Amino acid sequence: MRGHRSRTALINAVPVTVFLIVLFIYPIIGVLSLSLKGDNGAFTLHWYTDALSGANLSVLISTLRISAETAVLSLLVGFVLAHAIARMRPVFAALAMLIVVVPHFISALVRTYGWIIMLGEHGLINTLLTSAHAPGAPYSLLYNETGVVIGTTSVMLPYTVLILQGVMRGVDSRLLAAAAGFGASRWTIFTRIYLPLVAPGIGTAGLLSFILCLGYYITPALMGGDQQTVVAALIDQQVMKQDQWNSAAAFGVILLLLTFAGLGVLGLARLRRKKAHARRSSS
Amino acid sequence: MMELPPTRAGHVGRALSASAILLFLAMPIVIILVTSFGADGIGTFPPKEYSTRWYEQMAAPGGNWATSIALSSLVAALTTVFSLILGVTAATALARGRLPLHAAVYGLVLAPMLIPQVVIALGLFLFFEPAGMLGSPLAIALGHTVLAAPIAILIMISTLKGIDERLEDAAASMGAGRMTIARRITFPLATPGLIAAAVFSFITSFDEFFIAQFLSTPDTRTLPVLVFNALQFDVDPTVTAVSAVLIALAILALALVALVRKLGGHRTGRSALPVEPLT
Amino acid sequence: MPERTNSLTAGKLSADDLAAVLAPRSNAPTGKSLSVTGLRKSYSGTTVVDGVDMEIAAGEFVTFLGSSGSGKTTTLMMLAGFTEPDSGTIEVDGRDITALNPGKRDFGFVFQQYLLFPHMTVAENVAFPLTLRGVPKAEIRRRVGETLEAAGLSKFAGRKPRELSGGQQQRVALCRVLVYRPPIVLMDEPLGALDKKLRDQMQTEIKSIQRELGLTVIYVTHDQEEALVLSDRIAIMKDGRIEQFDTPRGLFEHPRTPFVADFLGAANFLTGKVEETTADGSTPVRLDTGGVLKARPHPCAPGQRVRAAVRPGKLRLVRAEESCCSGTVETAVYVGSLTRITVRLDGAAPGTPPLRIETAAAPPRPGERVCVTADREDVSVFDESDGG
């Protein structure tokens, strides 16, 4: 009966493969071909030169900037959280993980709405800060980049915390004990032993938040101002309001290429680690 | 960790920073839940007076909200069915069989979780527009299945890997045929995973905005599309009640999955985040 | 849980009761005979089973004994139908079943990991094979009840397997197989996960059920003692082949290869040259270290180089006689009922291991001069070219 396994596996793999080829791969190819077609149907790179110049280019740049800021902030916050959770008592650690992960399953729209209420001029944060007579309060935390990055960071945080937790759990604490035994200071242990050990996780988490942020739309659209128009919002506008499908397609392909580049870096880093590991175990 | 005994300052610092971050993360959700019962809508926090009027408005029959909730439910139900079919078959192929091109199929399954959703949505728009299927619940559900099926597949793979294949061998050695083994051994053991896959497929669709936005028409708008419009253009306080319902739905769904897993007594499908295959 | 701490007595299987419940009315053995010819299996170029031939009689208890990688489990899996042989045939009572699915063979299979269905109660687990066979509900209830009763598991009928101890789970697994009365039962290290005390008890139970019911049992283990206690015949496996298939006594007293001699109960190997056969038919071997050891009759020409094997317990310390080998005691360790002595023979090449001797008599002290000999029936001779 095990002889039929690969045949059964093939048959079972058919539905998902067909489905994703028809409704995922083929439509993306459609986007690609549309982006290379002029109004008369001939091949052109016009949409790309258009996308990479003037106001369009600045949209692309602010998308990259917001993604990078989000990646950095979610790494920082994620690291602090994951590090603290690793040292909490199990009950508190479970509770903390619940607070980190449960929002992931709540609509991003709803969470963004929550941030809007909370960060507004008369929102909870500003009310608290004003009553505490913080200098300069109320701050403008909404409809600018601060608001967008706070919102997107909260969306990416479950990913970064989970990934960082994974690598932190993998750190052999005896290595740190050994370093302490040689008389290394806390700072030395942290920067020379601990950080290099968790570095692969930091890289993965940062890149992943960056990639996932590139095509993100809801939070920048609702919490940003004019300076925070992102590529996804531009695509939405061009399709829904301006009927400029070709241009939208070109932007889509650019996002896709940026994503592939990010995934490529992730893959290369993994490959290098694997190779290094193979070298070590073979010698 | 045992490298050096933690200092008191370090301990307090860690606890404080973690608590502040966690509080910051939890606050928006708490604020929505509280505000939704405020009589004056989005006005102030905490509200001065409490009422359930926004909930009543949301549920008013024939209203925009009730219509879109019905549409979203239909789309999510269809998505769940499609995702379960794809989830069970694909996971059987990926977790159990010796599948040729295993890595290629697995990569294809993971791809929709990493590709920008706006690109998927645009592609689907270009796909369904010529067919005149914009606004069709079926089209939206098929689109949502592109996002939900990978989640269902990952959950089912982890579920099937958690079931000892030799239990099926044991049943076979007693004379059970393939169908009997599937019906009496594999299916009952996979039930917690199936429920988790169904729940996550449903809420993925129910909460999905971008694909629904591209595939909707002014007459057919799913709940997230309506919420988005309400937030961006006309601030309708009812949206707070809708948001609170969506939060409750997500928490109930997670509680259901946790409960089923606990009753099942064996660990299946740990995470619906695509984190594990990436690290 | 009180039952769990008391797992040795709670759920104690009464073999006689169980056999009485399960036995058919006639006295004829219920087991069937099994015939295996030329069974082979290799995985990606590595031969795992390399030509197994054996005839197993109805009602016989046969054990495959070998270390891991010897091919014993693969052979069992091919008999069960879980693994497809590359070549060879398997016949039950003369009927070729090589191509049949596991379920169609009507065998019982007991796994090392019990493999009880976790979502079913104990009673449902035992009922499962009967429901597959379309047995009427009332009869299923009766037979499951009787079987669990006889196995002393009645009070666990409504429990889930994970609430039971390891020993109890394995008893349920056994009930689940015996309840449908398969003529041939295959067991893959079924007691491997149990502690020593429980294992000894279960061995006795399995043996008496098998005998009472006249079942044909094919058993796989790497535990020599278990194989010796249970089996009518043992197949010693090495590198995918059967080295020797014989009764425990036959294997012990007449090992056919140096491997068997050494594997079962350890042996001392001494090299030498065969001398002229004596009148009493024994084969005298002039050892390289000096002295002559008389061995069982062995077909070999005088002058041939051979290896003689003697078990540690069969070597005797004697006063200097004609055909004994002199040496010096290196160590003597008292281990309870007997003393383990190592002796370095005079003239032994450096690097060769010392002789191991077990004796119940008053032991010599280290450094003492001794002379070693053995009865000819206890000395086996192998051609020097034989491996092992």
pLDDT in tens, C208-231: 889 888 899 999 999 888 999 999
The rounded distance, in Å, linking the Cα atoms of B30 and A129 is: 19
| Residue C246's CATH number | 3.40.50.300
The rounded distance, in Å, linking the Cα atoms of C353 and C344 is: 8
Token pair, residue A259, equals 């994503």
Is A257 contained in some domain?
no
Among residues 148-187 of chain B, which lie with CB inside 8 Å of chain A?
A: 149, 153, 172, 178
Q: Is B38 helix (H, G, I), strand (E, B) or coil?
A: strand
- Closest residue in C to B177 (Cα–Cα): C103
- Closest residue in A to C104 (Cα–Cα): A1
Q: What is the pLDDT of residue B6?
A: 66
Q: What is the pLDDT of residue C241?
A: 92
pLDDT tens per residue across span B213-243: 999 988 889 999 999 988 887 667 788 889 9
Walk along chain C (388 residues) and give the pLDDT tens digit of each residue.
344 434 444 445 566 777 766 665 445 557 899 999 999 999 888 899 999 999 999 999 999 999 888 999 999 999 999 899 999 999 999 999 998 888 888 899 998 888 999 999 999 999 999 999 989 999 999 999 999 988 889 999 999 998 999 889 999 999 999 898 899 999 999 998 888 888 898 899 899 889 888 899 999 999 888 999 999 999 999 999 999 999 999 898 888 888 998 888 778 888 888 887 776 778 888 888 878 888 888 777 788 888 888 888 888 888 766 678 888 899 888 888 888 999 998 888 888 888 899 888 877 888 888 888 888 888 888 887 765 4
Same domain, C76 and C199: yes
Return all residues near C310 (Cβ < 8 A) that are at least 6 apart. C267, C268, C270, C293, C374, C378, C379, C380
Residue B196: Cβ within 10 Å count: 28
The per-residue pLDDT of chain A, averaged, comes to 88
Q: What is the pLDDT of residue B274?
A: 43
Is A267 contained in some domain?
no
Q: Is B262 helix (H, G, I), strand (E, B) or coil?
A: helix
Same domain, C294 and C217: no
Give the mean model confidence (pLDDT) for residues A187-204.
Answer: 88
Is A258 contained in some domain?
no
Same domain, C272 and C359: yes
Count of pairs with CB atoms under 8 A, one residue in B, one in C = 61
Give the mean model confidence (pLDDT) for residues A135-152.
Answer: 87
| Residue A75's CATH number | 1.10.3720.10
Is C291 contained in some domain?
yes
Q: What angle do CA B260, B265, B268 make, to 5 degrees?
A: 70
Is C258 contained in some domain?
no
CA A238 to chain centre: 24
The per-residue pLDDT of chain B, averaged, comes to 86
> In Å, how far is A1's CA from the nearest CA of chain C?
7
Tell me the average confidence (pLDDT) per consecutive run of 10 residues in chain B, 279 residues long.
63 87 90 84 70 82 86 96 96 85 91 92 93 93 96 93 90 89 92 93 94 90 92 80 92 90 59 45
Domains identified in chain C, total number: 2
Portion of chain A with pLDDT greater than 70, in percent: 97
The rounded distance, in Å, linking the Cα atoms of B190 and B163 is: 8
Subunits with at least 3 CB pairs below 8 A relative to chain C?
A: A, B
> C81 contacts in A (CB within 8 Å)?
1
Q: What is the pLDDT of residue A14?
A: 93
Is A262 contained in some domain?
no
> In Å, how far is A3's CA from the nearest CA of chain C?
8
Token pair, residue B39, equals 């009589």
Domain range spanning residue C365?
A: 266-383
Same domain, C115 and C186: yes
> Strands C339-345, C355-359: parallel, antiparallel or unpaired by DSSP?
antiparallel
Same domain, C309 and C234: no
Where helices occur in chain B by DSSP H, the ranges are: 8-35, 53-59, 64-91, 102-114, 117-128, 137-162, 165-173, 178-181, 187-207, 210-215, 223-232, 238-264
Is C260 contained in some domain?
no
Portion of chain A with pLDDT greater than 90, in percent: 39
Same domain, C55 and C81: yes
Is C158 contained in some domain?
yes
Does B190 contact chain C (CB < 8 Å)? Answer: no
Q: What is the pLDDT of residue C159?
A: 93
The rounded distance, in Å, linking the Cα atoms of B20 and C34 is: 73
Portion of chain C with pLDDT greater than 90, in percent: 38
| Residue C356's CATH number | 2.40.50.140
Q: What is the pLDDT of residue A130?
A: 86
pLDDT tens per residue across span C293-339: 888 887 777 888 888 888 888 888 887 666 788 888 998 888 888 88
Residue linked to tokens 């070597």: C315
Is A128 contained in some domain?
yes
Domains identified in chain A, total number: 1
Token pair, residue A47, equals 């949409």
Same domain, C203 and C274: no
Same domain, C241 and C282: no
Return all residues near B174 (Cβ < 8 A) that are at least 6 apart. C103, C108, C109, C128, C129, C132, C176, C177, C180
Is C115 contained in some domain?
yes
Same domain, C281 and C217: no
Same domain, C145 and C242: yes
B128, B134 contact by CB (below 8 A): yes
Tell me the backbone φ, ψ of residue B217, rounded to 5 degrees. Answer: -120, 165
Amino acid at C320: A
Is C261 contained in some domain?
no
- Closest residue in C to A4 (Cα–Cα): C84
Does B232 contact chain C (CB < 8 Å)? Answer: no
Give the mean model confidence (pLDDT) for residues A166-171.
Answer: 87
Is C58 contained in some domain?
yes
Q: Is A251 helix (H, G, I), strand (E, B) or coil?
A: helix
Is A195 contained in some domain?
yes
The rounded distance, in Å, linking the Cα atoms of B23 and B32 is: 14
Return all residues near C312 (Cβ < 8 A) that are at least 6 apart. C266, C267, C268, C340, C356, C357, C358
Domains (range + CATH), chain B:
64-278 (1.10.3720.10)
Same domain, C190 and C219: yes
> In Å, how far is A283's CA from the nearest CA of chain B?
25
The rounded distance, in Å, linking the Cα atoms of A234 and B10 is: 46
Residue B186: Cβ within 10 Å count: 20
The rounded distance, in Å, linking the Cα atoms of B146 and B121 is: 10
CB contact under 8 A, A24 and B254: no
Is A112 contained in some domain?
yes
Is A158 contained in some domain?
yes
> In Å, how far is B79's CA from the nearest CA of chain C?
29
* Domain finish residue from C219, C253, C287: C253
- The complex's ipTM works out to 0.88
Same domain, C361 and C222: no
Element containing residue C274 per DSSP (H, E):
strand C268-274
Q: pTM of this prediction?
A: 0.81
- Closest residue in A to C86 (Cα–Cα): A3
Return all residues near B235 (Cβ < 8 A) that are at least 6 apart. B42
What order of strands is seen across the sheet that includes strand C216-221?
C107-110, C184-188, C216-221, C61-65, C233-238, C241-246
User: Which of C118, C129, C176 minimises the CB distance to B175?
Assistant: C129
Domain range spanning residue A219?
A: 64-230
